[in-house]
Amino acid sequence: MSDITPSVSPEPEWAAFVAIDWADKKHCWKLLAAGSVTPEEGTLANTPEALSMWAANLQERFAGRPIAVCLEQSRGPLVYALCKFPHLVLYPVHSTTAARYRQAFFPSGSKDDPVDTTLLLELLTRHRDRLRRLNPETPETRLLQMLVEQRRKLVDERTRYSNQLTAWLKMYFPQVLIWIDNIDSPLGCDLLERWPSLEQLKCVNPAKLHDFFTTHNSRSEQRIQERINAIYQAVPAVNDPALLQAGPASVQALVRILQVLNSAIADFDQRIESAANNHPEAPLFVGLPGAGPVLRPRLIAAFGTQRERYQDAGELQNYSGIAPVTKRSGGTQSIHFRRACPKFLRQTFHEFAGHSIQKSNWARAYYRSQRELRKDHHAAVRALAFKWMRVLYACWRDRQPYDEATYARSLEKRNSPLAKLTTALQWKDVAGFKKLSPKTT
């Protein structure tokens, strides 16, 4: 997700141009006053006090007139620190852009902070028409963006530690993976925290085990009894004393980490729900097929409130990475998966499209048509996401909530091939499962 928007408004009369090369302890800066040909340069300590004094001096020196600032990041401590000064207009430069611009003049690969600052200043003064200003979203949108991205990171961390937990259990206590469906759930974590080995679990009274499963919302008496019987009938997988000591110790350590992550994710879920419900764009995303309590806030954060950010749906499709990249050279043309993009944003639209297949008739039909073209699952989902983004962009642009019936009528009115595909399919029971199949007369 990004707050960078096109520079569609006329540029102000700049008082000066500044480039800053960020560093952990000291920033190198170079300044070129408007109308001057001799740049000034220096270093700046990476402290809030030093940054505030430096910005205040610039404000006083140039009488509060706007100053263009170029830096090699769109997020981070320096960006957030400089955003509070209204006279500084930030122009973020992608790290790849800066690196390749440097390589054009220094093919040897040499790198130096003062040189990098000089090159950033050149980009700002000579190629500013190709850069985009940083225009921060509303506080409500930025809060939601930060919350949903951090939640995803926590979920990924939980998956990582859950995989480690599973790997240890497979070595010395594999039966518990059969008894507990989700080993990183509160039920699995609490059980392993108390009894991290089969030997310890077999020593527990059956009544105590029954109470444990009941208090963890296991309501099926049959399922509880099956678990208890399986515990007492289980045979140890190994008898290596080293593994039987290291295994439980490692499992208990991993369980404690997972419990903290589960608690943190639950807390983020509450914060995200509150932030999403209070967001001004929230009504537009109510009722989207496949957008539940996790994906709906992510879609709100993906679009935000600044409708001038994207001139059309194609800009959003390209920026998010859903649209493929076309390469042409002479008589050769190829289409590739777009890799240079905000991964979380692409993931948001990809996951939403995948979930919509089960909830939207036209999405199911379109996905099936892509699969019949011999596209793999993810390529078909990306194609569906590409189509969904045009629909959602139109709803967002016009401030009209999505309605499945309205869109279906629109497809029929335009005599779209997708409308025929949708009406030509029906759900059938195949081997106990629902499968989308052509209608039979």
Residues 38 and 102 in one domain: yes
Indicate whether 120 and 17 sit together in one domain.
Answer: yes
Greatest CA span in the chain, whole angstroms?
A: 86
Which of 253, 275, 297 is the C-terminal boundary of a domain?
275
H-assigned helices in 278-360: 295-303, 313-320, 343-356
- Domain co-membership, 288 together with 432: yes
Which residue matches tokens 């006083």? 60
Per-residue pLDDT, 139: 93
Answer yes or no: do 153 and 248 share one domain.
yes
> In this predicted structure, what is the pLDDT of residue 7?
45
At residue 345, the pLDDT reads 94
Alpha helices in 173-294 (DSSP H): 176-179, 186-194, 198-202, 206-215, 221-233, 241-277
Q: Are residues 310 and 366 in the same domain?
A: yes
Question: What pLDDT is recorded for position 6?
Answer: 46
Q: How far is CA 25 from the centre of its chain?
A: 29
pLDDT at 440: 54
- Residue 43's φ and ψ, nearest 5 degrees, are -125, 160
Q: Check: CB of residue 133 under 8 Å from CB of residue 90.
A: yes
Residues 125 and 170 in one domain: no
Residue ending a domain, choose from 103, 136, 169: 136
Query: Rounded CA gap, 198 and 175, in Å?
Result: 8
Residue range of the domain that includes 349: 284-438
Do residue 418 and residue 306 come from a single domain? yes
- Are 384 and 406 part of one and the same domain? yes
SS3 assignment, position 356: helix
Q: What is the CATH number of the domain that holds 40?
A: 3.30.420
Strands 88-92 and 67-71, bridge-based pairing:
parallel
Are residue 209 and residue 321 in the same domain, yes or no?
no
Question: Residue 9 has what pLDDT?
Answer: 59
Check which CATH number belongs to the domain holding 229 and give it: 1.10.287.4070
Q: Are residues 193 and 254 in the same domain?
A: yes
Q: What is the DSSP letter of 10?
A: P
Considering the entire predicted model, what is its pTM? 0.86
CA dihedral 226, 229, 231, 235 (to 10 degrees): -120
Choosing from 226, 251, 275, the residue where a domain stops is: 275
Half-sphere exposure of 268 (CA within 13 A, CB side): 22
Count other Cβ atoms within 10 Å, centred on residue 211. 12
Q: For the chain, what is the domain count?
A: 3
Cα(68)–Cα(133) distance, integer angstroms: 9
**Residue corresponding to tokens 């016009």:** 398
Task: Tokens 């990183």: give the residue.
Answer: 184
Indicate if 130 and 146 belong to the same structural domain: no
Residue 70 pairs in a beta bridge with: 19, 91
Give pLDDT tens digits along the chain (441 positions): 555 554 445 788 999 999 998 888 889 999 999 999 999 999 999 999 999 999 999 999 999 999 999 998 778 888 999 999 999 999 999 888 888 888 888 887 777 778 889 999 999 999 998 888 888 889 999 999 999 999 999 999 999 999 999 999 999 999 999 999 999 999 999 999 999 999 999 999 999 999 999 999 988 999 999 999 999 999 999 999 999 999 999 999 999 999 999 999 999 999 999 999 999 999 999 989 999 999 999 999 999 999 988 889 999 999 999 998 888 877 788 888 888 888 999 999 999 999 999 999 999 999 999 999 999 999 999 999 999 999 999 999 999 999 998 898 888 888 888 887 777 655 555 555 555 555 554
Question: What is the model's pLDDT at position 111?
Answer: 72
Question: In this predicted structure, what is the pLDDT of residue 424?
Answer: 61
* 173 and 202 part of one domain: yes
CB 126 within 8 A of CB 68: no
